[in-house]
Structure 1
Amino acid sequence: MTTLGLVDREQRDMVAAFPSFGSGRGDLAAFRQTLVEGTTALLNSASARFEEQSVPGPDGAAVRVIVFRPSGTAGTTPAILYVHGGGMIAGTPDMQAGTLARLASETGSLIVSVDYRLAPEVPFPGGLEDVYAALVWLHGHAGALGVDPDRITVMGDSGGGCLAAATALLARDRGQVPLRAQVLIYPMLDLRTGGADAPSDDPTTGEFVWTREQNQYAWSAVRGDLAADDPGLGYLSPALMPDLAGLPATLIVTGALDLFRDEDVTFAQRLWQAAVPTELVVYANAVHAFDLLPTSLGARVRRDVLEGLRRLL
């Protein structure tokens, strides 16, 4: 079946033209380049201004982060640790610089976005430990950065939403950094989605932008050799974490046609059951990455996320 007729009318032609990739290594390289170039142009990121820092990472390695400072603020500010999308196999923080610069200004927050290592070159837990190291650095240098250490939020989209959720779990379990909130934009949470053991498989989801084949390839690349009974599995795939209690207040947004819809809704339900204050918004006629497109639906979700962030911060 085709679900193009269900897609938001303004977004339909753009969604139909969105590039995809197969599982070959050459296809991945081309997808990475197309994603970065396309997103950079779409978000006008080349003109955005930011600072670069090199922060201590896992095993003595350095992690590159880019920093966006709000203008016209006095005193300490909240902070957002942002994790870019791309299925954990593609993308850079720079490609979203246009959005992050605007978000820093609109929320009055300092934003740190992490240039984490990608799979398959670096499988789990490499990328996650990079993001967590950036969080520890942000909290530890809060005073120098002009940040309130009690108002730090983790935020990410797609594969970055997975890493943001996993970072919140690590922060809870390691006890080093108190988080104010987590904001998960159509997060990629369940490694079973798109496979034979998927808990649900609605054919109206996942036809465009991010497909079942892409999802299974990405999860295989990120997972590497991690066994099904490994105690770290819930940090790889937060949907499989047995206990979600003690996580910070949460905002989740997703689309009704997004491949991740059901896993995102289920994750929200589990957060409610664990007494975590959670807001879930599912947008009709919306595919994956719908908020990036210059349409009224894209503008609406960007406004809703901004309002949600302001409440949480």
Structure 2
Amino acid sequence: MEFRRSLVEGTTALLNSGAVKYEERLIPGPDAAPDVRVILFHPPKTSRTTSAILYVHGGGMIAGTPDMQAGMLDRLASETGTLIVSVDYRLAPETPFPGGLEDVYAALVWLHESAGELGINSERIMVMGDSGGGCLAAATALLARDRGKIKLHAQVLIYPMLDLRTGSTDAPSDDPTTGEFVWTRAQNQHAWSAVRGELADDDPQFGYLSPAFMRDLSGLPPTFIITGALDLFRDEDITFAQRLWKASVPTELIVYANEVHAFDLLPSSLGKRVRHDVLEAVRRLL
């Protein structure tokens, strides 16, 4: 699991702004599954915002923890005045689909049911995720729509991993200028194989595994998507946004020129600009 170690070591450490309070909890997991660990980022007490963000970390659904992006989430909670709940979902291959997704959905249910205790409006919950976490965020929005118990306020998808064909000979498109850095075709296929497990192509749950395969995208909440022009996920993200537009879902898409996967984490002027763009999008959607 060298990839898991390198991912956590290479991401932002816990940076406390001083204004945000951290809290760890174990919440009820899916039926017959372990409890789920979550980290809560409570905004400053002066905040009057009653919205909340359920955040799903990246790592291809095979690596990562909510702790590795604590610095970014601390800033997001502080600057938007919003409660953020980050989910420590189970990873593949130890737990293939739908384990990780059901963990995230269980966290959404808990957040919705705990609205009174947490001082939030249960109708103003946004789901947000990056990379593999973007896949789980999108799939959680689909589950929420189809199970009919929770109406999400918005979804924010940061270079989401949506189509399990990407990087394979079955890929709808394959631009050789993409996927050369950070997250490659081989890594993508390895991750999808681990997450998919034994799920058959004709399984009715397939669209929740790989949201690019969900035929009906209507009824989803307003959506914000970013990707890089050199990111392996560029084409699938653009296609997903186009399908959302056709389904009459209010959607904003930004494609950043000459940028690879996870470019927002770079300590550059563009990285700073992207983080600002995401922050402003979250504020608009809240």
Category of TM-score, reference length = shorter chain: over 0.9
1:127 aligns with 2:66: no
Out of 44, 68, 75, which is 2:13 matched to? Answer: 44
* Length, aligned pairs only: 282
Shift in Å, 1:73: 3.1
Shift of 1:81: 0.1
CA distance in 2, matches of 1:275, 1:59: 34
Alignment gaps of 5+ in structure 2: none
| Backbone CA RMSD of aligned residues | 1.1
Higher relative contact order (CA 8 A, sep 6+): 1
Give runs of aligned pairs for residues 208-247 of structure 1, distance below 5 A. 208-247=181-220
Select which of 5, 10, 28 maps to 1:56. Answer: 28
Aligned residue identity for 1:44: A
CA separation in 2, counterparts of 1:217 and 1:125? 17
Gaps of 5+ in 1: 1-28
Question: 1:193 and 2:166 equivalent?
Answer: yes
Q: Which residue does 1:30 correspond to in 2?
A: 2
Give the Å deviation of 1:196.
0.6
Counterpart pick for 1:87 among 46, 60, 64: 60
Q: Which amino acid aligns with 2:176?
A: P
**Any conservation in 2 of the 1:32–1:90 contact (CA below 8 Å)?**
yes
For residues 160-182 of structure 1, give each alpha carbon's deviation from its aligned partner in whole angstroms, at most 9, with x where no partner exists.
00000000000000011110000
Q: Structure 1 47/75 Cα, relative in aligned 2: closer, same or farther at 3 Å?
A: closer
8 Å Cα contact 2:16-2:74 kept in structure 1: no
Q: Is residue 109 of structure 2 the alignment partner of residue 140 of structure 1?
A: no
TM-score, normalization by structure 2: 0.97
State the secondary structure of the residue aligned to 1:149: coil
Local SS of the residue matching 2:255:
strand
1:252 aligns with 2:252: no
Q: C-alpha separation between the residues in 1 aligned to 2:82 and 2:151? A: 17
Q: Does 1:175 align with 2:143?
A: no
TM-score (norm 1): 0.88
What stretches of structure 1 move > 2 A for 4+ residues in a row? 46-49, 72-76
Tell me if 1:272 matches 2:241.
no
- The match for 1:310 is 283
Moved more, 130-139 or 52-61: 52-61
**Overall identity of the aligned pairs, in %:** 77
Q: Is the 8 A contact 1:165 1:238 kept in 2?
A: yes
- Measure, in 2, the Cα distance between the counterparts of 1:260 and 1:126: 23
Aligned partner (choices 239, 255, 258) of residue 285 of structure 1: 258
